[in-house]
Amino acid sequence: MTGHAGIVDDSALTFGSVVSLLWETADANANALLLALPVSNGTDIPGLVIGDANAINVDLTLLDTFTFPSLSVIDTDRDSYLTLSYSADDAPIIASNRAIIFRPNADLDDYFKFATVSNIPQSMEQELM
């Protein structure tokens, strides 16, 4: 194929029967590229995994417990992952089965702003203490 191929606004490119990729224009002042993942039903989950070819046709297990939209990156031998998701309390989750290392080029304060959070959901307070 040569030249330009396109999909018009609000028309989805569908993967299987549960995932759609489209240029969404329903919001009058914020059109956006939307990857619409399935609502969790036990088998189909709203998870996007980034990995290399070693991740194809294997049981990854890393998203088995996630029911909210999740983005995961796995390493080449599939024994380490980093996942962004949400809890049932709408609290963001950064999860990994390994230590998370921040590698800034200068002091952490130049890259991350730490603040005291007064509205942490009670279900998470014990985990943070």
Residue, of 69 and 4, whose pLDDT is higher = 69
pLDDT of amino acid 73:
95
pLDDT of amino acid 128:
45
Residues recorded for the chain: 129
Q: Of 28, 33, 29, 38, which is closest to residue 11 (Cα–Cα)?
A: 33
Q: What is the pLDDT of residues 27-81, one digit of tens each?
A: 999 999 999 999 988 788 899 999 999 999 998 888 788 889 999 999 999 888 9
Amino acid in the structure at residue 65? T
**How high does pLDDT run on average in the chain?**
81
Q: Of 62, 66, 19, which is closest to residue 42 (Cα–Cα)?
A: 66
DSSP result, 85-120: EE-TTS-EEEEESS------SS-GGGT------S--
Range of lowest pLDDT (37-46, 94-103, 109-118): 109-118
Report residue 62 as tokens.
């890393």
pLDDT of amino acid 53:
94
d(CA 69, CA 45): 8
Confidence check: pLDDT of 19 > 90: yes
Say if residues 90 and 68 touch (Cβ distance below 8 Å): no
pLDDT of amino acid 26:
95
Q: Could you tell me the strand order of the sheet in which 32-36 lies? A: 13-15, 19-24, 32-36
Confidence check: pLDDT of 25 > 60: yes
Judge if pTM exceeds 0.75.
Answer: no
